[in-house]
A and B are shown apart, each in its own frame.
Chain A
């Protein structure tokens, strides 16, 4: 099956710093990737849709200036959490859309645990 990786798998940072998370599709080209966040014991919440070569589309209530998304190639999307605060501590998960076969299946990365001190 399609493989999606994320880096780093976990990160601890100080309040006020910025953190970049990478999402890669390893064996397919993904024109569209998605970023989610998940708090403990809760479901995944879609943050934004990342389209290769164009601006990301953010869900309502998600600050685009705080969560910067760049989709520079067909296999890489990055999420930068700027000026991180403790309330940004969460599990961030990306997915990549594999359009082959016409079923529009999304494959998820392993997630990145962000802890802001």
Chain B
């Protein structure tokens, strides 16, 4: 059973900002929230990771409210090449490390 819930699909247009929200109501105290991007026939690519508040890197921002029960991935000014599946994950702690259990992800389609 996936620990996260996110929209199945989203549509956007080039140049727009895209926000994908993920729910993780049962997140544990020591869980980090990690987002990955996957293109067809490729392995997932790490985008961003955070624990609380806001994290920003060169490709995205991650907003996490104080209760940490949700998070929002923000992609500024998307382009056609951002069309991909985006996965939000929190770890399932087992045997001294976190296992990643993938949900369905959000299929983002960026249109011209």
Which A residues contact B (CB, under 8 angstroms)?
1, 4, 6, 32, 34, 36, 43-46, 49, 57, 91, 93, 95, 97, 99, 103-111, 113
Contacts and interface: CB of A to CB of B under 8 A. Distances in A.
B46 A104 contact: no
A16 B79 CA distance: 45
A70 B32 CA distance: 28
B104 interface: yes
B39 to A, nearest CB: 10
A95 to B, nearest CB: 7
Contacts, number: 59
Q: How large is the interface on B (under 10, 10 to 19, 20 to 34, 35 or more residues)?
A: 20 to 34
A46 B97 CA distance: 14
A10 B105 CA distance: 25
A113 B41 contact: yes
A38 B53 CA distance: 33
A43 B97 CA distance: 22
Given A43-B103, A103-B49, A91 B97 contact: no
Contacts of B101: 46
B100 interface: yes
A111 B46 contact: no
